[in-house]
Structure 1
Amino acid sequence: MKCTPQKLSFAVLYAICLNQAVAAESKTNDAQVDTLDEVKVNASADANAKGLMKPYAGGQVAKGGRVGVMGNQDAMDTPFSINAYTNALIQNQQARSVGDVLLNDPSVRVARGFGNFQESYFIRGYILNSDSVAYNGLYGLLPRQYISAELFERVEVLRGASAFLNGASPNGDGIGGSISLLPKRAPNDPLNLVTTGWSSGNQQFVSADIARRFGPDDSAGLRLNVSKRKGGTAVDREHVELDLISLGFDWRGENIRVSADAGYQDNKLNETRTNVTLSASSPAITGVPSAPASDKNWAQPWSYSNERDVFGTLRAEWDVSAQLTAYAAAGARHTKEANSLANLTLSNSSTGAGTMSRFDNIRDESVITGEAGLKGTFNTASIEHDWVLSTSAYSAVRKIDFAFQHSLNTNLYTPVYYAQPAFTGANAAPFDLYVNYEANLQSVALGDTLSLFDKRLLLTLGARQQNLKYINKNATGATTSQYDESKLSPALGMVVKPWQGISLYANYIEALSQGDTAPATANGSPVVNAGQVLAPFVSKQKEVGAKFDFGKVRLTTAYFTTEKPRGVTNTSNIFKQEGSEDHQGVELMTYGEVMAGLRLLGGVTWLDTKQKNTNNAATEGKRTIGVPDKQANLGVEWDVRGASGLTLDARVIVTDSVYANAANTLEVPGWTRLDIGARYVTDIKGKLVTVRGRVDNVTDRDYWASSGGFPNNGYLVLGAPRMVTVSAQLDF
């Protein structure tokens, strides 16, 4: 009988569960050592009086997280779906980036940006790019393409639209959800962690995580993280070098709390495998190519991508009285990028024939952002009010220059490598940065959560008035398009708690994004309003669900519908807001400790996506590019009885087929992946030592991991090959 990845995956999980069930019948005095290497952070990551939300049973997911301007909330008390993945999970799975952590989330699939190596995330079928990830509550402060896992204490996923809660995403995405990262803080006890390791491709890494508290009552804390990675990857000829340093500070006074963070990340990629674009003309691709060997690399030997970021935040809270708190936060980032790329455009799906062109670009980006507000509580009769008034501002300036030239033949399966072709003509001129993009966003939000009947009924009411300003310019400094629009975004939410441990919830909330820009031509003719930017797109979400807390296991179910407007060219060749991408789905998620030493994390998401009012019979009613009908995750951790300190884990990721074009004629096969790991915690001369090992893509499956991400594009990204990672951590 053939051992398929699916059969092997579930066989491993079944064996783990069976062994645990048998072992549970016998008596044991083994300590639960899985908690030994968990760092107990009691200081607040965002200068909040409530502090960091505590981990739920099992330690992989927190009890709640930041719900935008409404602050930290227990997941059972909020009318929204949220998961906050802990640093214990990040360490134990040896996650390297945000994308690695989100492999545990059944509502998320990791994709890649268009023409670069930026991590992107499909949440409920809508894309969110990595430069739209929030850091300590503020947008735009983290590295644009890759965010190293050593930076954060928590990865929080808030599913669904969030214009009221978080404000409009500066990049016009985030329709299906938002991601917020919380920086690390010094725990109450001194922390000295040093980790060193190795992964496939002879990549070596070392990191240090050091923290201390100072002053009267340990009111001040410092936490330093330093990390370096260098070497190859499991993909042939790829090379990575990453340098990271971050410093977090917090201070807790009697009625004032302050936190600050500064970070530096230098990420260098050489010969990184590119996306595969399927040619839409001359000739058009009629089928999806078979996935090549997972370690195959068609990148040109001279290609590289370098990104250097410096960023920081400052946040403070002041308790004016027992019922009133004032807060303010500010942050900034500066990024420098340089790339020399050669993406593959496929012209024949059977033979793998295609072309590549040299594309060099540089980028310089600066972001300044901040927020301020008041929050408090008061009672009216028997109703408790938890309210907030907030204002925010975001400003970004981007400078670029680029050159694109040459068309060289190559092949997906048997790549042809060239010496770097020289630019000629106007492209040969030295790069000269020019401002091509400016963004300024301002907003004011007011929200109130009303508690009735001894907090068995919670009503959330809110609205945010937002102003979006964008300017795009060309190399001569001339404005090519500009945008200045305002919109009021409401939100309604309700939580009903009929019995202990059960929360029924519903919400209506909107997302706000910049409207599309009219193209120059469509249907072979000039567009009447070419270059016009449409009014803001308002995406509307309705959601109902139920949350169950069984003490050590939580289960969440949700049904949602989201309508995202889009621009289409009508029969008069006028570009208007007429079409939409409508998603509806059902989510089922669980996490916790089902019995002593056995933890579960996972779920399944069913999605029904449709393109509507496209004015094109070939695409009308068809599925959205890159979104599967079903995706599921199941992760298991098992503390081996009779082997104190040893923990085994396994994770299965299942993704249905997706389409690579709007007409749904190019179907990308679904895939299943199995990851396994182990860790051993022991005491050596009074020092805690943790040894971890992990194998991702155990069966070395060849598969297309994602399709698309950039609007209306179905480019393919090959899944990573089998990767082995081992590390040793010393806590001294």
Structure 2
Amino acid sequence: MQLSRLSSALLHIHHTYTAGSFKPLYCLSASVFLLGGSPLALAQTDEATETPPSAMFDSIVVTTSADASAQGLPVAYEGGQVATGSRVGLLGNQDIMDTPFSTTAYTNEYIKNQQAHSVGDLLKKDPTVRVARGFGNFQEAYLMRGFVTNSDDTMFNGLYGILPRQYIATELFERVELQRGASAMLNGAAPSGGNAGGSINLLPKRAGNEPLRQLTLGYGAGDQGRVGIDVSDRFGQDDAVGVRFNAAYQDGDSAVDNESAKLGLAALGLDYRADKYRVSADFGWQDNKLDETRPNVTLSGVTAVPEAPKGDKNWAQPWSYSNEKDLFGTVRAEYDFQDNLTGYAAYGARKGEEENSLANLTVTNTDGTGSTYRFDNTREDKVQSAQLGLRGKLQLGNTQHNWTLAGDLYDQEEKGAYAFDYGNQLPTNLYRPTAHKDNSWTDTTAYGGNLSDPRLASETQLTSVALADTISLMDDKLKATFGVRHQNIETRSYDYSTQVKTSDYDDSEWTPSVGLVYQPNKDWSVYGNYIESLSKGSDKCW
């Protein structure tokens, strides 16, 4: 982003509720920001290619949109790396100079320039994000403002839980929209209870105004080959119908000894635009396989951190692996009842399957001595996510109101099974690993269900309704946003083997928000907000 001035003074309040008793856990941090920006590029940008669209001789211009909105995506700044705005939950697309929340939208051009292969690869470049792994596995996790945002809680075009849970390849999305801070009023509670420090929204690819025929070949360190195709075109009267298809395949070894990965994916994006309505649909498939991937290291009882091993050293066991396969799709539509009244609806679903055999290393001496044990698990997810809402504009005297009324639904059914042989500790070393070829289960193994036939482990249902209004005053120099969401969180857990219900949780809460933006001129603005994060259980703020 090209900025002429940027300074910040913290006054941004983040408030986390723990559902149940809903006693507030105050995690206070943040910010009144003074933002200065370079003048915006005035040309409309085609969000699929980040280049200005072409106009037909009769002055009709087709503006494609990843989110099925009439205005299309916010244009990119000069240079094409970041956009001038992004989706801000139920408020819709907002210019960064007009919203009281801290956001950044990375474009597809930036993704390509960084040669990023996943969401984590891209966000490593953001100074406010640190990328980590999930608990004991290879799932991506993102640390923002001291809190973890799990990849489970990533949104796809505003819908939770639709994209693959552990690893999301960049071929599946057009933009990465990063919103820092809590967002319960804007997006609703996150499925896994995260997003207190920030949220991530990924936008699907769309056909641009010009035909696209792209073939990508790659070769990486070790022996990793990659091939991808990306094609699109528009059809019909005024090019109203758009089709975009992209697929990729990756296979081979990495730069780490004996480590290999295989990835296959395909995605189809469709859109149709008429005078009063717009419809888009996205369908995707991803199959990600990891073999003998270098696992996490845990320190236990050591007085100092051991020296890091060589970069190509691998202490994974030869039988360890992690596989994930997902099939997903979404449909989104908008209809203009009047010039100042638009209704919208969206629905998405995902079916995911995971299985892995893990052997994380615990180091107990600074010379690298440690041990590992076998831990297997299987998981199947069925997720549905939906939205329904109305957006309108209302002029009352010199005051303009931009209001939104929305309802959200998230439903997840998780099946799972596990087996871990903690009593059979296998000796090894961080620097001189021992490969244990025999990984047979022993009498000390603890089982939860049947690994080959996982049964119902948990159910989660999130429902909410929200109302927000942005009031513009003083010739749009002052904007005040007020919003509130009523959120209900319902979860049930079951014994992996007996299917007896082990927990049943059902509670709800109101989460308000207020934000102010003052923009003396187009080059800078000062803003602040109050917003809350919401999760169930006994989450801690430290």
Common topology (TM > 0.5)? yes
**Which consecutive residues of structure 1, in runs of 5 or more, have no partner in the other structure?**
1-34, 517-564, 567-579, 582-732
Task: Establish whether residue 295 from structure 1 lines up as the match of residue 316 from structure 2.
Answer: no
SS of residue matched to 1:481: strand
Counterparts of 2:425 and 2:286 in 1: how far apart (Å)? 34
Task: Establish whether residue 421 from structure 1 lines up as the match of residue 445 from structure 2.
Answer: no
Structure 1 residue 125, shift from structure 2 partner:
1.6
Counterparts of 2:52 and 2:174 in 1: how far apart (Å)? 11
Other-structure match for 2:303: 286
Other-structure match for 1:372: 388
Q: 2:241 aligns with which of 206, 220, 226?
A: 220
Other-structure match for 1:143: 164
Counterparts of 2:268 and 2:369 in 1: how far apart (Å)? 49
Q: 1:63 aligns with which of 65, 78, 84?
A: 84
Q: 2:466 aligns with which of 440, 445, 461?
A: 445
SS of residue matched to 1:79: coil
**Which consecutive residues of structure 2, in runs of 5 or more, have no partner in the other structure?**
1-46, 54-62
SS of residue matched to 1:99: helix
For 2:311, the aligned partner's letter is S
Structure 1 residue 38, shift from structure 2 partner:
5.0
| Contact kept? 2:419, 2:451, Cα under 8 Å | no
Task: Establish whether residue 486 from structure 1 lines up as the match of residue 502 from structure 2.
Answer: no
Counterparts of 1:444 and 1:91 in 2: how far apart (Å)? 37
| Contact kept? 2:315, 2:430, Cα under 8 Å | yes
SS of residue matched to 1:77: coil
Counterparts of 2:112 and 2:451 in 1: how far apart (Å)? 44
Counterparts of 1:44 and 1:335 in 2: how far apart (Å)? 27
Structure showing greater relative contact order (alpha-carbon pairs closer than 8 Å, 6 or more residues apart): 2
Q: How does 1:288-687 map to 2 (within 5 A)?
A: 288-348=305-365, 350-405=366-421, 406-425=424-443, 431-474=452-495, 475-516=497-538, 566=540, 580-581=541-542
Counterparts of 1:275 and 1:111 in 2: how far apart (Å)? 10
SS of residue matched to 2:521: coil
Structure 1 residue 91, shift from structure 2 partner:
1.0
Other-structure match for 1:102: 123
Task: Establish whether residue 169 from structure 1 lines up as the match of residue 187 from structure 2.
Answer: no
Counterparts of 2:166 and 2:364 in 1: how far apart (Å)? 28
Q: 1:93 aligns with which of 100, 106, 114?
A: 114
Structure 1 residue 40, shift from structure 2 partner:
5.3
SS of residue matched to 1:88: helix
Counterparts of 1:376 and 1:484 in 2: how far apart (Å)? 33
SS of residue matched to 1:287: coil
Counterparts of 2:412 and 2:522 in 1: how far apart (Å)? 47
Other-structure match for 2:59: none
Counterparts of 1:94 and 1:443 in 2: how far apart (Å)? 38
Structure 1 residue 424, shift from structure 2 partner:
3.7
Other-structure match for 1:30: none
Identical aligned pairs, as a percentage? 53
Counterparts of 1:99 and 1:62 in 2: how far apart (Å)? 19
| Contact kept? 1:84, 1:154, Cα under 8 Å | yes
CA deviations 1:176-234 (Å, max 9, x no partner) are 10000000000011000101010101100000000010111000100001100001111
Counterparts of 2:290 and 2:525 in 1: how far apart (Å)? 46
Other-structure match for 1:713: none
| Contact kept? 1:292, 1:413, Cα under 8 Å | yes
SS of residue matched to 1:459: strand
| Contact kept? 1:39, 1:187, Cα under 8 Å | no
| Contact kept? 1:40, 1:187, Cα under 8 Å | no
Q: How does 1:159-308 map to 2 (within 5 A)?
A: 159-279=180-300, 284-308=301-325
Counterparts of 2:230 and 2:522 in 1: how far apart (Å)? 40
Structure 1 residue 288, shift from structure 2 partner:
2.0
SS of residue matched to 2:393: strand
Q: 2:66 aligns with which of 39, 45, 54?
A: 45
SS of residue matched to 1:76: coil
Give the greater-gyration-radius structure (CA): 1
Task: Establish whether residue 125 from structure 1 lines up as the match of residue 146 from structure 2.
Answer: yes
Q: CA RMSD in A?
A: 1.5
| Contact kept? 1:98, 1:148, Cα under 8 Å | yes
| Contact kept? 1:274, 1:343, Cα under 8 Å | yes
Counterparts of 2:438 and 2:335 in 1: how far apart (Å)? 58
Counterparts of 1:39 and 1:196 in 2: how far apart (Å)? 23
For this pair of structures, how many residues does the alignment match? 480
Counterparts of 2:320 and 2:336 in 1: how far apart (Å)? 53
| Contact kept? 1:175, 1:511, Cα under 8 Å | yes
Given the two structures, how large is their TM-score scaled by the length of structure 2?
0.87
Residues 205, 155 of structure 1: alpha-carbon distance in 2 compared, 3 angstrom cutoff: same
